Structure 1
Amino acid sequence: MSEPALASSLRTPHPEREAGGPLRVPRRRGSWLSDFRFAKGRVEVFDTGADLVLDRTLVGEALVWFGYHLVVRARSWTMRLLRRDAPRVWFAPHTPRPWYLVWAAMAWAGVRIASSPDKADAAFAFEDATWSERQVPPLLPAFNFRCPDISKSRVAAVFEAVFGYPLAVDPATWSGEAVEKSELNGAHDGRIVSCPTARRAGQHYQRLIDTTDDACAYDLRTACVGGAPVAVWIKRKPSDNRFSIHNLSVTLQTPAEVFSPEEIARITRFLAAMHIDWAGLDILRDRHSGRIYIVDVNKTDVGPIIALSFADKIRSTVRLARALDALLPARAKAPARRRPQRAGPPTRLSPPAPL
């Protein structure tokens, strides 16, 4: 089965939406904890199905994030007072929780979440899912409405078309090591397999990109806004645990410090081909060939990355906030109300002069 055919066969339409139909908006209810299931020392994320070990490391990272969140929340309260005419954005079918980067960027810029499309200045398609139905945005400008598929097969097919060299492999004919991972977004289940081997249902296969320097492996997490990269987080992990969500260290760089002008141009073309306005890209640079590979796309990225220093967390948020704010139209100010003038004393008419 070809990669595009595989992606099509795995696609599962949302049971409550029809393609091209009106936007149904199941707003999230309840506390943040309602997005997770805690059982037997593990945490399941309902939206993505990710299954995480609830250990000291995860709890510690959650506490670090909460300290950052308090600062962003305080900034948002201040901006509400200082920027009363800020743009408003309508999200559908879901509204982002505070751990999503787009929430933090909006809060920092003072941009508000609209309660309905008629009260918004822009629309944003937001669903933490691999496949989603194509929807007609209720207003313009609109972001991410034209990207219904971020499966690994789709990403690999678009990458090869734009960059001119392949990422995906057929495990039945490939000889050597390859990476097997779920087609699903946010599964974090990558593993190295020896090929040739039989293809497992629901799995995607990529060539193994060597980013190691013996002890560590490096990922170039690239935040993109408005169809262009705006920040790069260089993630360092143990080479024997490269698929972990935990990092030894992370540093913030600009795209120009990490990628060549030609690579930035190709990344921009990739985003255009995927019809993505906001996303986080997982990019790997092969240490032997020097080539870069875009191996994953996330339209609902969380963060900033916990291992960043607090200063870099804030710098990252500022960059994202400025880039997002630049995309939004200025909110039309309501005309100032004129105070009614008090009526003066009645005008006395002088008697006509005698003829």
Structure 2
Amino acid sequence: MAATEKGQSMHSALWWRDFEFQDGIVTVKKTGARLPLKLGLIGEVLSWFPFYFIVEGWRIKSALRTDGPKIWFAPDRPRPWYLIWSVLHAAGARIAAHPGEADAVFVFDDSTTCRPCNVPPDARVINRDCQSIEKSHVAAVFEQSFGYSLSVDPMTWAGPMVEKSELNGAHDGRVIEGPITAPKAGRVYQRVIDNTVPGGMVEDLRCPTMDGHIPLVIRKRRKIGNRFSNSNDEIECAETDDVFSAQEKAQLAAFTRAMGLDWGGLDVLRNRDDGRLYVVDVNKTDMGPPVAMQLDDKIKVTRRLAAAFLEFLGHPKPEPAKQAS
């Protein structure tokens, strides 16, 4: 989610300390992202809290279990707005007190690029090899996996193209006309994918993935004018087999392996003209479930992902928590 990379550690459980508030701007200390404190943002936060309190209940129940898996996160602890936080507690898992007692170590760093972190030599490590999610790297791996290109040469491409930041979560894309004579440093240039659907919307396919397996697909739709926004007008959950063919699932799995992505989220677009898929973004610290999703659907999606997470870990489903006497 970074507009800049500051690298401040977030291993304290006091997640509200991650933010600074000044002059109507909320600054995320870890990434440096600056969010204007507007009514829309306030409304999203307020709509998120009911789900947060439900997950807090799951977290408390998980603490009463002794059979759930324990995960150590490094260098940072996931905050409540990250998908893994809710999935972890829905699965009856716990955050380990130290790496030595963990069933797995999860490399969790909400930065576009990160350095390898120190982990116990015999530990199972999630996302150890996912060191970069720069847009240019994602596009290069995509071309290797799918056999066709998302990137364009902005100095020779004649027609509309997307210009956007290399950085994760900048949401600053815009459509410009090519060719151009002076490409900007830190920017990437890509095809404009026609992902329009009926109703004057564009549709992104958010694909949570674990070891290349996509348990479900979240269709995210927004008005064409807000193509590059992070706010959605419609959210719909779909079965993976209803969205992708067997060949497409195999290609997406090969892509995640080439990225070193054991856990994360893919943003996939389907081109209306020829039906081809394009992976336009990779999230190794993905947020969710989407704010615009109904509360009941958030719970259902999280529980399904929790079951898939336990299977991914090779861990049986924990027994129901015992009531405290």
- Unaligned 5+ segments in structure 1 are 1-11, 17-25, 332-355
- Determine the C-alpha separation between the residues in 2 that align with 1:30 and 1:86: 20
Query: How far 1:30 sits from its partner (Å)?
Result: 7.0
Residue 278 (structure 1) aligns with: 263
1:215 counterpart = 2:197: no
The AA in structure 2 aligned to 1:276 is: L
Q: CA 1:330/1:236 → structure 2, altered by over 3 Å: closer, same or farther?
A: closer
Residue 205 (structure 1) aligns with: 189
Residue 39 (structure 2) aligns with: 56
Please tell me whether the aligned partners of residues 50 and 188 of structure 1 are also in contact (alpha carbons under 8 angstroms): no
> Aligned match of 1:98 in 80, 84, 93?
80
Query: How far 1:13 sits from its partner (Å)?
Result: 10
> Aligned match of 1:131 in 91, 113, 124?
113
Query: How far 1:29 sits from its partner (Å)?
Result: 3.3
Aligned pairs for 1:335-354 within 5 A: none
Query: How far 1:136 sits from its partner (Å)?
Result: 5.2
Please tell me whether the aligned partners of residues 48 and 185 of structure 1 are also in contact (alpha carbons under 8 angstroms): no
1:230 counterpart = 2:212: no
Query: How far 1:329 sits from its partner (Å)?
Result: 5.1
The AA in structure 2 aligned to 1:68 is: F
Please tell me whether the aligned partners of residues 161 and 176 of structure 2 are also in contact (alpha carbons under 8 angstroms): yes
Residue 302 (structure 1) aligns with: 287
- Determine the C-alpha separation between the residues in 1 that align with 2:54 and 2:10: 26
Please tell me whether the aligned partners of residues 155 and 178 of structure 2 are also in contact (alpha carbons under 8 angstroms): yes
Query: How far 1:194 sits from its partner (Å)?
Result: 1.1
- Determine the C-alpha separation between the residues in 2 that align with 1:15 and 1:143: 20
- Determine the C-alpha separation between the residues in 1 that align with 2:189 and 2:154: 7
Query: How far 1:257 sits from its partner (Å)?
Result: 1.5
Residue 34 (structure 1) aligns with: 17
The count of residues paired between Structure 1 and Structure 2 equals 310
Superposition RMSD in Å: 2.1
Residue 241 (structure 1) aligns with: 226
Deviations 1:252-283 (A, max 9, x none): 11211111111111000101111111111110
Q: CA 1:76/1:240 → structure 2, altered by over 3 Å: closer, same or farther?
A: same
Aligned pairs for 1:245-324 within 5 A: 245-324=230-309
1:325 counterpart = 2:310: yes
TM-score normalised per structure 2: 0.90
Please tell me whether the aligned partners of residues 284 and 295 of structure 1 are also in contact (alpha carbons under 8 angstroms): yes
- Determine the C-alpha separation between the residues in 1 that align with 2:119 and 2:62: 28
Q: What secondary structure, in the 3-state scheme, does the structure 1 residue paired with 2:196 have? A: coil
Query: How far 1:15 sits from its partner (Å)?
Result: 8.3
| Structure index of larger Rg | 1
- Unaligned 5+ segments in structure 2 are 317-325
